[in-house]
A and B are shown apart, each in its own frame.
Chain A
């Protein structure tokens, strides 16, 4: 059985590692990007089943990543965005651009797994 692919775009290396460990344990194949630009490359190269992206990232923001996926690649790959406190407007923009779900930081990795499973099944 082929493992489902997830691209994780997050500039906090510790959180990325934590989520990678957790998601891989659940049987997913993880592709990690430290910024939006790397995320776009990975999305185009790997055609993932799900995208997890932070909103604020160097070079290319999470909003631009969603916009690229929905408008340029014309893809309906589910996207979950991570947002910090005070980024409520960004979250609304993310939904307007086509994000499927969001999680406010700090979040529980267990809750993320539930949301990932819900979107992928």
Chain B
């Protein structure tokens, strides 16, 4: 007691600054102790939750396997499967358990095909997970809707088409993107019908994802892309151009020729690139005649086309642009000349006019 009294007296008699320092130290010490205990409690809770999740996961993995292997040959659900569905039905109402069940089902859905994949889909419906996904579509938060559509896509639920389709015009691009992916994943090229009326921009990333999805399918029978090439939406045209190139759409050449006079430069440049891959000979003469009216990017793109479709009669045109002010055109012109008339190309290195371009000529000679 005397010791404590001594400490209290010491504190009371100490200068104000020392008293303040002690007070701050005590507060900090208490805060550290409380936070340490709190951290320990959180870690213990998380560890407990992790163990529970792992246990639950293991339990439901076995249940799922049991469900899949207990199916009868006629495809009907038997009593054993009904018991499993009932067991899962109870857990599905608890959010954390529902998440685990979805992740288990999805993990397996990705890895197996055929009857087993169909059985997983049936289980998704029967356990009520489908209803939970549909309920997400009615949520007022856009990210919940996007997640709901994503889940329906992953489980290949075509039945939700009518409920998902309206989101194609959702103000948030994340929701629109998920809806577009749903449509294409479920209905392949037919799912691209949303492009007919798409007014909002289709981002480059969304285009890449759609193309990647389309390439996954065995059936590569593409639909008519002409209406999209004539779309008033710039991004839809750009996407249709990618499709034309990827799926060798020779039948849209005439539409592509019309697009060479599109008011947007980016589209005109891409059209030349697509015509290059589709061997658009018709475009060559037209672009050659209007070469000086083209923008620099179009001129470069045209020389790319010429590199692939050049014939000996193009030589005078190439010669005219051997010393073009743009490096890329100069390089392409030299490469093309080398491919059609090697003697004339070799003669260039000796020519006095081409002395300034010696390094480029040297480079093309060695390539």
B112 touches A106 (CB 8 A): yes
100-141 of chain B: CB within 8 A of chain A: 104, 107-117
Q: Which residues of B contact A71 (CB under 8 A)?
A: none
Chain B residues near A17 (CB-CB < 8 A): 61-62, 65
Residues in A neighbouring B68, C-beta threshold 8 A: 18
Q: Label chain B's interface by main secondary structure.
A: helix
Q: B107 contacts A12, CB within 8 Å?
A: yes
Does B64 lie at the interface of the complex (its beta carbon under 8 Å from any beta carbon of A)?
A: yes
Q: Please report the total number of A residues contacting B with Cβ < 8 Å.
A: 16
Decide yes or no whether B6 CB sits under 8 A from chain A. Answer: no
Q: How far is the CA of A108 from the CA of B114 in the complex (A)?
A: 6
Tally B residues with Cβ within 8 Å of A: 21
Interface flag for A15 (CB, 8 Å): yes
Q: What separation, in Å, do the CA atoms of A107 and B113 have in the docked complex?
A: 5
Q: How far is the CB of A40 from chain B (nearest CB, A)?
A: 23
Interface string of A1-30 (1 = CB under 8 A from B): 000000000001111011001100100000
Q: Does B69 contact A (CB under 8 A)?
A: yes
Considering the complex, give the chain A residue whose CB is closest to the CB of B212: A86
Contact B108 A14 (CB under 8 A): yes
Does B216 reach chain A (CB closer than 8 Å)? yes
Rounded to whole Å, the gap between the CB of B347 and the closest CB of chain A is 44
Within 8 Å of chain B (Cβ to Cβ): is A109?
yes
Mark A88-115 against chain B: 1 for CB-CB distance below 8 A, else 0.
0000000000000000011111100000
Chain B proximity of A89: nearest CB distance (Å): 16
Residue in B58, B104, B111 whose Cβ sees the most chain A Cβ within 10 Å: B111
B67-80 toward A: CB 8 Å interface, digit per residue (1/0)? 01100000000000
Q: Could you tell me the distance between the alpha carbons of A25 and B68 in the complex, rounded to whole angstroms?
A: 14
How far is the CB of A77 from the nearest CB of chain B, in Å?
A: 24
Residue of B nearest to A10 (CB): B111
For the complex, give the distance between the alpha carbons of A56 and B117 in Å. 22
B57's closest neighbor in chain A, by CB?
Answer: A13
What residue in chain A is nearest B216 (Cβ atoms)? A85
Chain A residue contacts of B112, Cβ below 8 A: 15, 18, 106-109
- Given A12-B107, A17-B65, A108-B114, 10 other A-B residues pairs in contact with their CB atoms under 8 A: A12-B108, A13-B58, A14-B65, A14-B104, A14-B107, A14-B111, A15-B107, A15-B111, A17-B61, A18-B116
The chain B residues found within 8 Å of chain A, CB to CB, are 57-58, 61-62, 64-65, 68-69, 104, 107-117, 216
Q: Which 3 A-B pairs have the closest CB atoms?
A: A106-B113, A108-B114, A15-B111
